Amino acid sequence: MIDLEGKAVFVTGSARRVGRAIALAFAEQGANLVIHHASPSSAEQAREAVDEMRDMGVDAFIVRGDQSRAADVGRMLAEIGERYGRLDIMVNSAAILRRINLLDVTPEEWRRVIDVNLTGPFLLIQEAARLMIEKATSGVIINIGDNSGLNPWPSHPHASVSKAGLVMLTKVAALALARHHIRVNCVVPGPVLAPPDNEGAFERVVAHLPLGAAGSPAHVGHACVFLAQNDFATGTILRVDGGEGLA
């Protein structure tokens, strides 16, 4: 098992919600964190996250950028290299999940979700891997999927397709980067945090889970820590979903 103390960890979408919980889980292990957000509306939450990490005795700083833009991704990774001189762990958490009828998806809507949920992680994997290889780091990349990528969700058509692509990207990257001693895995959470605009739907999903209870964002964070520490895991698709994928 790998000791995470002092490792440099970059978690996208880590200013709030599940991404922040993932960052906290690594901070609890003594890792240094790169907190990411893309919108000015998340700036204050990002600052609060950094303060929280520093209060835990680790270093943390903020990068901001649109992960669907290659220029932003390159700049963010350059900032990380300048700050820490390396990157040990990359977690692709930021994503868009929108409920919409298939026939109502516009080309613009389709491109935006695919760009953020699939193109973004692809670009981040490329740049993270280049930095890891340059610094001869045995790195880890973890993608955050969901069950819409393993079972079709017609209520979330473009998100479902993007997450299915992310699962395959995990497997392809795991094989392509293994010779560089970079491991690539995927965590598939179930219902761990109610959406701010539809708690009723969340409760209905939870009621049908085999375990009969919702998870928490901390469950996702702990799964990411496990995959980062277990140096024999690559290409793994780890469900942490209360049995949602079975039901």
Q: For the CA atoms of the chain, what is the radius of gyration? A: 17
130, with CB counted inside 10 A (0-12, 13-18, 19+), is middle
137-159 burial: b if 16+ Cβ within 10 Å, else e? bebbbbbbbbbbbbeebeebbbb
Contacts of residue 151, Cβ cutoff 8 Å, sequence gap at least 6: 245
Q: Which among 32, 93, 40, 36 is positioned nearest to 58, based on CA atoms?
A: 32
Strands of 8-11's sheet in order across: 60-64, 32-37, 8-11, 89-92, 140-144, 183-189, 237-240
pLDDT of residue 121: 98
Which residue type sits at 34? V
Predicted confidence at residue 38, as pLDDT, reads 96
Q: Which two tokens stand for residue 223?
A: 């799964």
Asked if 153 and 160 touch (Cβ cutoff 8 Å), the reply is yes
Residue 150's alpha-carbon distances to 3, 37, 62, 102, 162, in angstroms, are 31, 27, 32, 18, 11
Q: Which of 97, 177, 176, 106 is nearest to 144 (CA)?
A: 97
Give the start-to-end residue ranges of the domains of the chain. 8-240
What is the pLDDT at residue 98? 87
The pLDDT assigned to 159 comes to: 96
The three state secondary structure string of 56-70 is: CCCCEEEEECCCCCH
- CATH for the 8-240 domain, from 3.40.50.720, 3.40.50.1000, 3.10.20.600, 3.40.50.300: 3.40.50.720
CA distance 70 to 126: 10
pLDDT value at residue 247: 80
Three-state DSSP state, 79 = helix
- The phi, psi pair for 190, rounded to 5°, reads -100, -155
H helices, E strands: number in the chain: 8, 7
Residues of the chain scoring pLDDT < 50: none
